[in-house]
Amino acid sequence: MTPRFLLALTPLLFTHAAFAVDCDNATDQATMNQCAAQQNKAADKELNTLYQQITTRLKSNPDGKKLLIGAQRSWIAFRDAECKFSASSVEGGSVYPLIYSNCVTGLTKARVETFKNYLKCQEGDMSCPVPGV
């Protein structure tokens, strides 16, 4: 490889670092929107991980698993409708993605806590829909 070729590749090696977002010091709307979306994605990932753990525990209870699936679908519909309403006063504005994402993230984190509580159920706890281990 020629030195000129290596020099041409150098910017490609640092492209990812150039696009790293400093969410702690975000000052413009686009960056704040991007950071809110990243937080939402992280909360959703945690929720999905817990959901999979719960469905695994319900493998011997197909009726319970079916109820969980229905509840989760209904919860997602509620979450999305609630956040659309919550952000409706800024719909069409540049702040809308931030307001909407923050709402979705907050409700998702609350659902995460619910799922965590389900996974803490003790064996024999009749008030818990997820069997303990």
**pTM for the full model?**
0.80
pLDDT tens string 15-71: 444 466 789 988 999 999 999 999 999 999 999 999 999 999 999 999 999 999 999
Predicted pLDDT of residue 1: 52
Burial 28-60 (b: 16+ CB within 10 A, else e): eeeebbbbbbebbeebeebbeebbeebeebbee
Predicted pLDDT of residue 55: 97
The full set of domain ranges for the chain reads 30-119
- Residue 82: count of CB within 10 angstroms of its CB: 13
CATH number of 30-119: 1.20.1270.180
